[in-house]
Chains A and B, each alone.
Chain A
Amino acid sequence: MKKYNFSMLNIFKIFISLYFFSFIHSNAFAIETIEISGGGTKQINIAVMPYKEIALDKTNSRMHQIIAADLYRSGFFRPLDIEGLVNKPSILSEINYPEMTAIEAQVMTLGQVEINNNRMKVNWFLVDINKKTILTTMEFSGPVAQYRAIAHKISDTIYEKLTGIPGVFSTKISYISKNKGRYSLNVADADGFNVQSVVGSPQPLISARWSPDGTKFAYVSFEKKKPIIYIQSLVTGQRTVVANFKGNNSSPSWSPDGRRLAIVLTYNANSQIYLIDPDGSNLKPLIQSAHIDTEPVWSPDGKFIYFTSDRGGRPQIYKVSSSGGEPQRVSFEGNQNLNPNISPDGKMLSYVMQDEGRFRVVLHDLQTGQITKITDGPFDEAPKFSPNGHVILYAHKINGSGELSTVSIDGVVRQSFNIHADDIREPAWGPFVK
């Protein structure tokens, strides 16, 4: 019986376009750094000036808008309102320092965008207002098609310069959309732009997880009336079955080296965690119980697997050695805790706490044990750390319809994505790609 027409031909039409963009780094100025304290508790006031666009079609520059939105979303920056300023410098000699001090800018960025024959060149500066010194100056160039990518690269550079930690503005996110009854796994830029569908289905798709190298997805599809785990390459589009055993096959989680997957199988009983190779071989149980054990996630060092279990009555977070053994309970506060995700440095867990009738995203510091509620609910789920650990992407519901938002790990800055679909859910954040 032919169950679906899997038209792989389309996916092989992938056109790998060699759009490289290059940047030239000038060391003509002394580089200094700004001291910031408190890891996100204090935001940096930044004036993001309109980058003057020198182009034949005279379109207004939007580069500064992309940069300001990136920096705002990170939670570490407060882009200032610069609309009312008399002076809008695009080169160093035009800067009016007293005016910048008056709006309490600590740093400012300014620059010029030259566009010619579908090529663009951006000369830009990052300036310390108090010291009147240049922190960074660079020239980025590339095809006009890379306009947003170049803006994100500038944001990344500013972010790393001022926080000491790489920015995530050039990384990718993924999510599942449901539109007119059709499900799609989509990849987008970290700001929600440039959406591309990876796989579409009339039946639900859930639990998409990026491979550690960012070239593949593991996901769960219900296209055969039960959950089955697939891996799909983003390079070739080729799709393979990882697990299609009797019962459910769900909740895939890549080991940090990409060589194993933790998955959940049921056969004719409750959800249990197994380990399997990505080609579907070498299956072995991780732990065995009569209870629900699900939602496995690996610690970044590969030594532990965190998971959700109802072995204590209500669902709570547990951890177990990735070689098996006796699980230890990790979460104790709240009525129930589920849906764990771990920070890239392995020091923080984020999960969903159900308490007082609300499902909220919490941050659990594994060293101090401190738990902080960073969203308000009522139906928040699927928290995922950014690759630099500074922001959490999560799903929530507005009038029964799913939406995505980011929240800075201090809970201060929340920003929703402007993605057009009936319903979006199941976010994941792709890795840094070098």
Chain B
Amino acid sequence: MKKSLLLASLLSLFLVGCSSTPINDASKPTGPSVSNDEKDLDLASLRDPNNILSKRSIYFDYDKDVVKAEYKDLVAAHAKYVSTHPKAKMTLTGNTDDRGSREYNVSLGQRRSVSVKKSMNVLGAQDTQIETVSFGEERADTNCKDDACYGKDRRVDISYEKE
């Protein structure tokens, strides 16, 4: 006796002819800033290469989230900028090297951005103006062989909504 059965791998059906969903880059500049922002937010000071506010990266020791003394002035300058410009919105983005799992590294990078935020809170910067996020190892140099190289990945980058 013969019996026939119909079989279908659902996924192979769904995926036949399926084209990928493209996402375009959100990082491209969106045009010139409004002149009010230039004045209200003193954007020139953020861009002035001689101003400490143009320095945007804080580096960490291996497996540490303590903000080192050498970044005291940098952290203080940005904290002051945020507290004196209530309309300013800052993002602190944590990063790690590429060792370990991607999700755990998102959490490690976050711990570093939170550490920087707390240092700024002490100096009067409000949480409502700061967002702490993490890219984990996603921006790490994947060809590192020594700690000098890994060290460049262990950092928090400061950016502003308008700058």
Contact = CB atoms under 8 A, between A and B. Distances in A.
Given A149-B12, A268-B130, A248 B106 contact: yes
Nearest to B25: A202
A161 interface: no
Contacts of A56: none
Contact of A23 (B5, B13, B17, B127): B5
B19 interface: yes
A239 interface: yes
A136 interface: no
Contacts of B69: none
A197 interface: yes
Interface residues of B, number: 56
A271 B27 contact: no
A222 to B, nearest CB: 6
B103 A16 contact: no
A381 B135 contact: no
B88 to A, nearest CB: 16
A92 interface: no
B107 to A, nearest CB: 4
Contact of B107 (A170, A294, A382, A400): A294
Contact of B110 (A16, A248, A352): A248
Given A20-B7, A352-B101, A426-B102, A200 B107 contact: no
Given A268-B130, A400-B143, A215 B14 contact: yes
B155 to A, nearest CB: 16
Interface residues of A, number: 90
Contacts, number: 220
A406 interface: no
Contacts of B99: 359, 379
Contact of A433 (B4, B9, B102, B106): B9
Chain B interface, >50% SS class? mixed
B7 A203 contact: no
A132 B137 CA distance: 57
A14 B131 contact: no
Given A1-B30, A295-B104, A315-B104, A22 B19 contact: no
A225 B15 contact: no
Given A26-B2, A187-B15, A270-B110, A4 B132 contact: no
B154 interface: no
Given A11-B18, A268-B117, A433-B11, A27 B1 contact: yes
B39 interface: no
Contacts of A13: 17, 19
Given A22-B7, A338-B104, A354-B100, A266 B110 contact: yes
B148 interface: no
Nearest to B135: A222
Nearest to A22: B4
A20 B6 CA distance: 7
A400 B142 contact: yes
Instruction: State the 10 A-B residue pairs at the shortest beta-carbon distance, nearest first.
Output: A197-B20, A15-B17, A201-B23, A271-B107, A339-B101, A204-B138, A226-B133, A400-B142, A3-B26, A202-B25
Given A153-B7, A197-B20, A268-B131, 16 more contacts: A15-B17, A17-B13, A23-B4, A172-B11, A199-B23, A203-B27, A214-B11, A227-B135, A235-B14, A250-B103, A270-B110, A271-B107, A339-B101, A359-B100, A400-B142, A425-B102
